[in-house]
Amino acid sequence: MLDTSAIAIGEPTVLRIQADRDITAGSGTFLWPEWQDTIPGGLEILKVLGADTAAVENEIGNNIIRIERTYEITAWDSGYLAVPPVVLVWGADTLTSNPLLLNVLLAPPGEPGQIAGHADIRRVQWTWKERLQRWIPWLLICTAALGLAIFLIRKWRNRPRLEAEQASSAEIVEPAHIVALRELERIEKEAAWKKGQVKIHHGAVSQVLRIYFERRFNYPAMERSTDELRKGLVNLPIRAKEKELILELLSITDLVKFAKWNPQEADHQRVVKQGIRFVEVTTVVPENNEE
């Protein structure tokens, strides 16, 4: 879909592409078109606004996973531009979206034979918001410099105590992926869902993965909801298919914990398997590991 069906030539608008999949269809990812600077149909991509994954209900009340990608686009040719259907691939299936039509309008012409004159100079008074916007960067720089100075002073004063604590501490901390895999294997073996403890089973998987996020990526996942975690994934070194994998997993556990969704037996096992897979593919491998 387009945010508007008509734009002026060179004016930006937003193109949104949504792909839905049944939550019970198993794991997998959509293969999206590899667009660079242009889209078939004569559109130019100004900015890739990102991707979003969410668990929602469709029109008939079924739980689905919805993936949306948005692009800021424009066009430099006037007239009606036809945007052909977008082609996605899911497994062995090829899916196509609906076609779109965008009307690109020219600016109104001036008087024939006349050159437009210069616009008048307008004197404006800055508002308090505009003045604040000018000063905010300087205030932030001063605040950051002051905070850095306080931090360095405190660190220098606490240096003897920190050195003593480090010297006396001989505890070996296990790697994050070792702890996470051990806990996921324990959850899989206990299978609390077989005893009717479905929420406990899915809640334990969610907690293990959030703790892994905090230790592996230094990201406070325990303090954030799945929607907040989705926004933070943009800044983490995780590939797109792993992002979709973890968001799908956490969306399922949220449906069980908060929406009272009663999944099937395969879903109980699948969340653990997907959690183990996510930890394995995001594990830091030491450089001197010959294997």
pLDDT score of 162:
63
- Cα gap 164→92, rounded to integer Å: 61
Residue 223 DSSP class: G
Residue 141 has pLDDT above 90, yes or no: yes
How many CB atoms neighbour CB 215 within 10 A? 16
What CATH fold (topology level) applies to the domain 6-105? Immunoglobulin-like (2.60.40)
HSE-CB at 108 with a 13 A cutoff on CA atoms is: 2
Residue 114 has pLDDT above 80, yes or no: no
pLDDT score of 170:
44
Confidence band, pLDDT 50/70/90 cuts, at residue 286: low
Q: Is residue 278 within 8 Å of residue 176, measured between CB atoms?
A: no
Residues 6 or more apart whose Cβ sits within 8 Å of residue 212: 176, 177, 179, 180, 279
What does each C-alpha distance from 144 to 137, 149, 283 come to in angstroms? 10, 9, 34
pLDDT score of 31:
86
Confidence band, pLDDT 50/70/90 cuts, at residue 265: confident
- Cα gap 7→40, rounded to integer Å: 18
| Residue 256 three-state SS | helix
Q: Highest mean pLDDT: which of 75-84, 127-136, 138-147, 200-209? A: 138-147
Q: What is the mean pLDDT of residues 46-62?
A: 83
Domain boundaries in the chain?
6-105, 176-281
